[in-house]
Structure 1
Amino acid sequence: MEGCNMPNRFIPFALALAIAGPALAAGEDLAACRWANGAPIDPVVCDGLRELAARDAEKAKRDADTRARGERDEASREAQQLALKAEAEERMQAAKARKEGDAYWLQQGNEKMAAEQKKYDSQLAEQARQDKTRRQVCGADYAKPTVGMPLARARSCVGELTLVSQVNRNDGVASVYRAGRLQLVVMNEKVVAWQRW
């Protein structure tokens, strides 16, 4: 038989099954090699029927195992989906709480930043006022030291001076001051040299 994947030994059995139809043996009849009507079954056909019954029983067992495994897998999937859903809900609640907390701290931070900005602006305004006053008082000497300028005038016109070093010399003590990018050399309370660095 071409195109049929049935072993040759089952061909007679298949023909017998096709002819027998509803008179097939089952259970005790098959164990006794008799048809359902009590007629004897050929031993070759009986062996084939037994093998077929064993295959059917094995297939039914496999199907039952597969169904049970599928049901277990489905239950496991459902439990896993419920767990994932609960976890997602928990994450959403945590994110919502975090967002509410962030909004609170953002508001607090904005208020604090506004207060700091106000303080900074007032400091800038005060510094600008002092610079304006210093410009009026110092005139051409504002932020520009000159040789021979007294140290007190340099402090008020050039800006805040920081003592960097002092050197003892025969003619007095030479002090080096820095003010921003300016370096001033002072002797006897007068600027004797200066440079930008």
Structure 2
Amino acid sequence: MTDLALGFADPVREAQATFKAVMWAISRPGNRMPLATGLKPPAPLTPEMAACVLAVADYETPLWLDAKLAARAEVLDFLRFHTGAPILAEPGEARLALISDPAALPPLTDFAQGTPEYPDRSTTLILAVDDLTDAPFTLEGPGIKHTRRFGAAPLPADFAARWADNRLLFPLGVDLIFTTSGLVSALPRSTRITAEA
């Protein structure tokens, strides 16, 4: 039980700071926002991914975990203990999906897309990437004055095509939050991306 107790040291302040960083990232697609956390969750759950989940999930937030996360009982116990969130075997009903191996990202259509009446009933995917960069994508859309350069690694080779299909579903579709050491960034479904030729 000792490891399970290692959540936010100051739950209110740290959850608020994390939530603020995530909201800034979503409102400014592709920007890299600082995300400081002292969390030490069980691997392969990263501190930044854990902070995002603890800040936004509760007992009414169904979670889906990729294979690497779902295989670790310590990760399941940590998430259940700190959020109370149900953990689902299938991604289609999840409100949050945690992806520790983004190179093996499942098809975005596997996740909840929302409905015309309730587009917010879609899945938000939180990915733990090794790096956030300024290539190979150009972003356009709400929250971007002209264009913005963006990259994350690793991602599937066909990520740009997958995202284009997701963008065509707007206002339905999924949103992505990228986490890496000390940073968070996001691609909301309204964002258009163009890959370098």
TM-score range normalised by the length of the shorter chain: under 0.3
Q: Which has the higher strand share?
A: 2
Q: Which has the higher helix share?
A: 1
TM-score, with structure 1 as normaliser: 0.22
Q: Which has the higher contact order (CA 8 A, sep 6+)?
A: 2
TM-score, with structure 2 as normaliser: 0.22
**Larger Rg, first or second structure (1 or 2):** 1
